[in-house]
Amino acid sequence: MQDQSEYAEAIAYAEQAWAIFKQLDDLQGIVHILYNIGAMTYDQGNTERARAILEEALELAQKLGDQRLEGGLLLNLGLTLTSLGQCEAARSRLDQSLTLMTYIGDKQHIALVNRALALLALAEGRPDDGLTLIDESLSFLRQP
């Protein structure tokens, strides 16, 4: 979905779904739809708006107690904050995500967080650290 009009249409439908979930008082549905709206908004390049939406979704996910969902939101917030140049805040969110996913034991998510930490290292001018994190991610995924 690369055409901006397709993004706009998808976001419009997602916002309609969000309104329905709100009417139903379906917190799980609200969190998931906000997650999607935040991701699409980020993909459109509206990074600050995406950050606000993802922060709202994270707050609701924490109320739900859904650690996997919370970990995914923290990962996406970390990437979003990295794009905004807010490296300290990005690291905090990514570290929180890594802690949750390590506790859960989600190897693929751990590798994705390490990839995001590698991107953060590159943004901070630490390419060697970034390459080390990528290598660690690949090694981790190759483990049985």
38-69, pLDDT tens digit by residue?
999 999 999 999 999 999 999 999 999 999 99
Residues 13 and 44 grouped into a single domain:
yes
Average pLDDT of the chain to the nearest whole number: 92
Domain containing 16 equals 1-65
pLDDT cut 70: percent of the chain above it: 98
pLDDT digits (tens, 9 = 90+) for 76-100: 999 999 999 999 999 999 999 999 9
Q: Is the pLDDT of residue 9 over 70?
A: yes
pLDDT digits (tens, 9 = 90+) for 128-144: 999 999 998 888 788 87
Token pair for 18? 């969000």
Which of 33, 50, 65 terminates a domain? The answer is 65
Q: Is the pLDDT of residue 23 over 80?
A: yes
Rounded Cα distance between 53 and 35, Å, is 7
Token pair for 99? 């802690």
Residues 72 and 138 grouped into a single domain:
yes
pLDDT score recorded for residue 79:
96
For 8-13, the CB contacts below 8 A with 24+ separation are 10/40, 11/37, 11/40, 11/41, 11/44
Residues 140 and 82 grouped into a single domain:
yes
Residues 95 and 76 grouped into a single domain:
yes
Residue 88, classed as helix, strand or coil, is helix
